[in-house]
Amino acid sequence: MRIAYLLPDTNLFVQCKPLSELDWSPWSYYDEIHIIVTRPVQKEIDKHKNRGNDRTASRSRKAANLFRKIISTETGYELIEKKDQTIKVFLELQHKPDKELDTQLDYDDFDDRLVGIAYAFVKEKADEQVWVVTHDTGPLASGKMVKVKVFEIPEDWLLEPEPSAESKKIARLEEKIRNLEQREPNIVLLSLDENGNEVGAETALQFEMTHWLPLTEDQLSELTSQIKSLFPMATDFQEPKPQGVASIESIMRFDSTYIPAAEEDITEYRQKKYPYWIKQCESILSNYHEFLQCQEAYPTCSFVGHNVGARPAEDVLVTFEAKGSFYLDIPERENDEKNDETVTLPPPPKPPKGVWRSVGDIFGATNIASSLLTGFSHELTPTIGFDPGSIQNDPNEFYWEERKPLAKCLSLECRQWRHGKENQETFEVAVFSNRGESGQGMLECRIEAANATSTTTKRLRVKIIWKPISVLEKAQGFVEGYVSRV
């Protein structure tokens, strides 16, 4: 029978996987593998088993139990279950180091004592193959020196390194934090592009804003001339005598006489009212690009948040911060003052006209007629008014804090953000840069809660460019619309 004798070091029992899980194929040629546990290894195991509750002590106690089991068996060995191989563990404490090596090996040293025993074992088993099995440098070097075969334990036999005391402490704290977080709100935050697709900080979102250019002097002069030609200054201040079916008032006038427009009214119209109206039109047209600019909605950046934790988030603060050459604003749909702004050209001034007066007016007949007519009508006054009532501050809704001009930081607040699939929130913030100047940088969204340990943060790269467009075409349409209404 071919037998391979293995004299193991302590680390076979302390640092390696269970014997039944190891790869014994290096000795597949042999019919049996005999693992011989010697006195130095047994003493080391007994010493380590009382060191506490670390892995070395735990594995040493298991090895000591194996040794006691071997002592109590009639066969004198423990058979290791392994398919196609017979592996037996023996406890043989009678073997001594070979005295011939006293001058070469230090038998007070554990490694040299193990190698000395192996050397003597080789002599005893002259016709058999003997190996020292170890993962330590000492036995490897001593075995080579005295020509004892040494099998170096391969890495795949070893257990994963045992965590240090500090690592174990960190792991316990991390586990504690995980347990606490499981009882907290858990905020998941995503950043989206304009199509609703998730994007990361490495992707830059580019926005194009329209920069309305003002009318040139020639364009303004041409539009003003157009208005003047369509609504020229009046030169005829006469009022023709009324014709047609007589009214109650005309019947009661008895007769009429013509009173021409006052000369001072004509002068005021020519020198003040009409020139002032033209200046008003010029002023509105020269600033029409500003009106269009105010109507331009700022582009928005979107984030989607979801509380997937086990409880609602309390006193939630969502903060947007612009880090770069751009600014923030509340999205237009939540700040709709811009949409209420309108602009129009004033109507041309009415020129003074002469009036026809009747003799009846002298006697107040017209006033009588007017009174009679007025008596048949009354003013309808609305009886239902708008009562906005008091605004309900819903604790589950998000509300913007005070809006600031050229803001670098804006925040939303919510007293209680409920958890669950249906409570997904979309957070949007408008971005812009100085008019006509490109802007870029990082937009950061942070979500904090009073009952959450950590802050959830998401970042988005932003780039803003301006596209200059002349206001002329819009201004021409504006004037044409005015003409059609007046």
Whole-model pTM?
A: 0.54
Residue 145: C-alpha distances to residues 1, 101, 135, 140, 141 (Å): 30, 11, 17, 9, 6
Helix (H/G/I), strand (E/B), else coil: 374: helix
Taking residues 252-273, report their average pLDDT.
81
pLDDT tens-digit series, residues 273-301: 999 999 999 999 999 999 999 888 899 99
Is the model's pLDDT at 381 over the cut of 80? no
Give the pLDDT score at 171. Answer: 78
What confidence category does residue 421 fall into, taking pLDDT thresholds of 50, 70 and 90?
low
Instruction: Return the minimum-mean-pLDDT range out of 47-51, 172-176, 241-245, 324-328.
Output: 241-245
Give the pLDDT score at 61. Answer: 93
What confidence category does residue 390 fall into, taking pLDDT thresholds of 50, 70 and 90?
very low
What confidence category does residue 224 fall into, taking pLDDT thresholds of 50, 70 and 90?
very high
Higher pLDDT, 428 or 181: 428
Give the pLDDT score at 42. Answer: 95
Is the model's pLDDT at 380 over the cut of 50? no
Distance separating alpha carbons of residues 438 and 458, to the nearest angstrom: 23
Helix (H) or strand (E) holding 86: strand 86-91
Is the model's pLDDT at 211 over the cut of 50? yes
Distance separating alpha carbons of residues 139 and 40, to the nearest angstrom: 13
What are the structural domains, with CATH classification, of the chain?
A: 3-156 (3.40.50.1010), 187-240+251-361+395-485 (2.60.40.10)
Taking residues 414-428, report their average pLDDT.
83
Distance separating alpha carbons of residues 153 and 204, to the nearest angstrom: 54
Is the model's pLDDT at 364 over the cut of 80? no
Give the pLDDT score at 148. Answer: 93
